[in-house]
């Protein structure tokens, strides 16, 4: 089952933040199969509780009254008063102490059993099917187009993250508005796109650490950063009307360090006048300041008007393939040989460094081991040269590439493994 936590209900109208919150709550009521109406047993029944109860009575949905904070004598009067709402006996709950949780589970279980389809109505399970790869194909991959894809959308406050998700799913699923910091928790929104389930994760806006003072905002930012770890693809949303900041670079670098694939989305592009000049400036800044993610897709769009959404999704699917790519060892070593011939490793203390063998050991992100004569002596600049050349040669844009150095010869010489990797 899926639980939906709604905002506190306010009797507000117009386009204020409270009114938009109310409309979100009313939409959740219409879509729910079961509703828990929670009141505060210590505070007793308020006029807003009575207004909300009247709304729920018209909803034509099963409603169960839940009186939270019901522990102790201070809640006894509130529990008795809850009967006045005409919703039957309230479930006495203490979320803090775990009292009444099992009763809520029983209610959910009974509702699920009543709503379960007949055996003949259930759709058959579709197993995951790996992509078939020809042995001689140039690129191999374990990418599976049937599996769910987790996409986190991050960025500074008011970059338009929630607006974009609402446009993608075709409904006002997330609360939006001109007020900065509306989104506090990371929210996952499942979405079907071209027959595939995409789990879109909306996150709180992330400001510079020096500007984050309130505890609530610190918790929201920490939650947003955790979302990067659980995502596979990360869309870094930038407000194209705002100058490029160090915070944007910090977020992009964080995605790279976490080993996640990255797409940069330039939102509010419909408000930009000198588009060619602006795009060229931003692209140059990305290439110069993010060399570890050279060639990262830069997609211009308007989340509010829905412009360039197909281009964004195509970029996401392209870098997903790159993130999952598996390269044949023969191709990797042909590449290594060509790179060494083009630029020989420097000699250290009069001794030439030998690069003997390279193989891919994992994907997500693509990770390679290079066996050489003296790993500690190989300059970092030469490692960057190999990684950048590999990204360009195999077209692995948008994904981090890991290259580990190991001492020794080819561990697979004559088809027999001589040395355990790692």
Percent of the chain topping pLDDT 90: 28
Interval 361-387: pLDDT, tens: 999 999 999 999 989 999 999 999 999
* pLDDT number for residue 311: 95
Q: How confident is the model at residue 144 (pLDDT cuts 50, 70, 90)?
A: low
Residues 328, 414: Cα–Cα separation, whole Å: 17
Dihedral sign for Cα atoms in the order 192, 194, 199, 202: negative
Taking a C-beta distance cutoff of 8 angstroms, is the pair 300, 270 a contact? no
Q: How confident is the model at residue 9 (pLDDT cuts 50, 70, 90)?
A: low
| Helix ranges (DSSP H) in 376-417 | 380-393
CA distances from 63 to 11, 66, 87, 345, 415 (A): 20, 10, 8, 72, 67
Higher per-residue pLDDT: 368 or 209: 368
- What residue ranges define each of the domains in the chain, with the CATH number in brackets? 17-121 (3.40.50.300), 144-323 (3.40.50.300), 326-415 (3.30.300.20)
Rama region for 83: left / alpha / beta (φ>0; ψ in -120 to 50; rest): alpha
pTM of the model: 0.65
Residues 352, 78: Cα–Cα separation, whole Å: 82
Above 80 in pLDDT, residue 126? no
* pLDDT number for residue 177: 43
């Amino acid at each position: 089952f899926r639980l939906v936590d709604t905002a506190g209900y306010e009797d507000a109208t117009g386009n204020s933040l409270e009114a938009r919150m109310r409309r979100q709550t009313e939409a959740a009521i219409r879509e729910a199969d079961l509703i828990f109406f929670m009141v505060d047993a210590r505070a007793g029944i308020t006029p807003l509780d009575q207004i909300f109860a009247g709304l729920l009575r018209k909803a034509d949905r099963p409603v169960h009254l839940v009186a939270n904070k019901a522990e102790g004598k201070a809640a006894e009067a509130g529990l008795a008063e809850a009967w006045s709402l005409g919703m039957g006996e309230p479930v006495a709950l203490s979320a803090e102490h775990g009292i009444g949780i099992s009763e809520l589970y029983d209610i959910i279980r009974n509702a699920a059993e009543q709503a379960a389809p007949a055996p003949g109505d259930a759709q058959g399970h579709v197993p995951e099917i790996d992509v078939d790869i020809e042995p001689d194909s140039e690129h191999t991959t374990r990418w599976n187009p049937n599996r769910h894809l987790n996409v986190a959308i991050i960025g500074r406050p008011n970059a338009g993250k929630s607006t974009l998700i609402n446009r993608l799913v075709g409904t006002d699923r997330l609360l939006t508005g001109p007020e900065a910091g509306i989104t506090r928790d990371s929210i996952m929104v499942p979405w079907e796109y071209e027959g595939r389930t995409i789990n879109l994760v909306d996150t709180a806006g992330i400001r510079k650490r020096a500007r984050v003072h309130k505890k609530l905002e610190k918790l929201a930012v920490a939650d947003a950063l955790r979302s990067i770890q659980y995502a596979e693809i990360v869309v870094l949303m930038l407000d194209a009307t705002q100058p490029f900041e160090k915070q944007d670079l910090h977020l992009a670098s964080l995605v790279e360090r976490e080993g996640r694939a990255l797409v940069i989305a330039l939102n509010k592009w419909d408000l930009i006048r000198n588009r060619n000049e602006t795009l060229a400036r931003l692209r140059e800044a990305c290439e110069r300041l993010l060399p570890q993610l050279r060639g990262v897709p830069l997609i211009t769009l308007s989340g509010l008007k829905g412009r360039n959404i197909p281009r964004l999704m195509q970029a996401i699917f392209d870098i997903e393939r790159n993130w999952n790519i598996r390269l044949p060892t023969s191709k990797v070593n042909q590449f290594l040989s060509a790179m060494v011939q083009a630029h020989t490793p420097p000699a250290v203390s009069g001794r030439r460094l030998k690069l003997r063998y390279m193989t891919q050991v994992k994907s997500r992100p693509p990770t390679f081991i290079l066996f050489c004569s003296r790993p500690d002596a190989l300059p970092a600049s030469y490692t960057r040269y190999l990684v950048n050349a590999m990204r360009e040669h195999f077209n692995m844009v948008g994904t981090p590439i890991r290259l580990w150095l190991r001492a020794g010869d080819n561990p697979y010489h004559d088809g027999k493994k001589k040395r355990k990797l790692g």
